[in-house]
Amino acid sequence: MKKIGILCGAENSFPFSLIEYINSRVKNAEVELVKVGFCKVGEALDYDIIFDRVSREVPMYQSILKSAALAGVKVINDPFLRCLEDYFFQYNLANKLGVKTPKTVIIPTKEHPEGTTSETFKNLIYPLNWSDLFDYIGFPLIIRLNVINNEALTFRVYNPMEFFSAYDYSGNKQLIVQEDLKPEAHFRVFVVGKEKVRIFNYDPNKPLVARYSKENNFVKPELKSTLETLAKMICVAANLDFTTIDFVLSNDEVYVYNFYNTTPRIDTTIFSDDEYEWFVFTLGDYLISLLERPKNTSELSNKGYNLFVSDKFR
């Protein structure tokens, strides 16, 4: 009998709603929470599919899921895609696809990363020409960590003095510097199976329970089509089975801000009953459809190396 495993953390509703829905739809498969103890090298988890909702918070789970993927388990999302947590890499990939991104520059850390000294940085130009950076990005500009889902160190600065004050505060954390697009609107697009799309008006400045519009998420048809097309294209190129993609509208142009948010919070305190059911039914149906696909153990040598197989990236 085929098995689907749900790997989750503190969530108390969505994973169990998925399990209940899938069990109501299929009789020849088991769906359960993944149970993990000690894991030996070469040992495969006894699942055909694992839906991952928590590994980004638990390094042990990350290692186990990569091993499971090597053994032919379909892990959603592919654990080898964690390179997409790097904003700078995300924006380079988006540019390859022709998707607009804010002007972005990665800069050296203010302090040496742990375990390094000035001798480690023989290749680093010094002194840096900060004027070139300021001329390219312009003020005001955004300083943020180069890692997704961590906005603990984000500043909008209006002049060099404010910039260097924020830079000094950052210590040895890796930063990127971005233009401030002054968005006219924010959109969060959920994509399931690279095909099913749901678009929300989204305000990241509000508390989480109020960020998603409750007003039927009105989006003009032409803009909706653009968002859907870009979202699907990104997911196909990056091989993402489930993610949210954050877009902004600035000067009537669509820009992508982040497309690797694979564990967005989903529960009824945030979404309406209709919206919540869409997530449960759409993801449940997608997981069920994957049960018909056999385990693939023939591409083990390629796993983790050829992440983006489209000729566009050769």
pLDDT tens-digit series, residues 251-301: 999 999 999 999 999 999 999 999 999 999 999 999 999 998 766 654 444
Per-residue pLDDT, 219: 80
Domains of the chain: 2-77 (3.40.50), 80-101+183-261 (3.30.470.20), 103-179 (3.30.1490.20)
pLDDT tens-digit series, residues 137-176: 999 999 999 998 656 789 999 999 999 999 999 999 999 9
| Alpha-carbon span 260 to 199, nearest angstrom | 16
| Mean pLDDT score of the chain | 90
Per-residue pLDDT, 63: 95
- CB pairs under 8 A, 24+ apart, for 91-95? 93/237, 93/238, 93/308, 93/313, 94/234, 94/256, 94/259
Q: Compute CA distances 27 → 10, 24, 64, 189, 306, whole Å.
A: 28, 8, 28, 32, 36
State mean pLDDT over 203-209. 88
pLDDT tens-digit series, residues 72-115: 999 999 999 999 999 999 999 999 999 999 999 999 999 999 99
Of 180, 181, 182, 170, give the one whose Cα is nearest residue 107: 170
Per-residue pLDDT, 300: 45
Indicate the range of 27-31, 181-185, 199-203, 210-214 predicted with least confidence.
Answer: 210-214
307 pLDDT more than 50: no
Task: Enter the pTM of the model.
Answer: 0.90
